[in-house]
Amino acid sequence: MASFTNQIGYLTGDKTKNQASVIVEALKNGVKESPKNEAQILIKSDRIEVIISTSYMDFSNQLENVKFALRDYKYEMQIL
């Protein structure tokens, strides 16, 4: 699976592209993907969707990293 920086979908217009780049940059500062891909975290913000692959062992740590990285943004998070 591609890294979460390549998982952005539904981008239209400059505002959405700018929001996507800000969110991806925030996630890159602390959120780490796992090659094990045992669990996935889906993050939705407006029309942006990002999937982060993680291991069972690191799952709760990555949830906290996402919450911290996106503390200034409105988003939804789902466990896949």
pLDDT tens digits, 36-69: 889 998 888 877 788 888 899 999 999 998 888 8
Question: What CA–CA distance (Å, rounded) separates 16 from 27?
Answer: 16
Q: Is 38 helix (H, G, I), strand (E, B) or coil?
A: coil
Smallest CA-to-CA distance from 23 within 41, 1, 2, 49 is with 49
Measured in degrees and rounded to the nearest 5, phi and psi for residue 4 equal -65, -20
Q: Rounded to whole angstroms, how far apart are CA atoms 24 and 4?
A: 8
Q: CA 15, CA 60: separation in Å to the nearest integer? A: 31
- Cα(20)–Cα(11) distance, rounded to whole angstroms? 8
- Tell me the pLDDT tens digit for each residue of 13-25: 455 556 667 677 7
**Domain ranges, ordered by start, for the chain:** 4-79
- Would you say the pTM of this structure is higher than 0.85? no
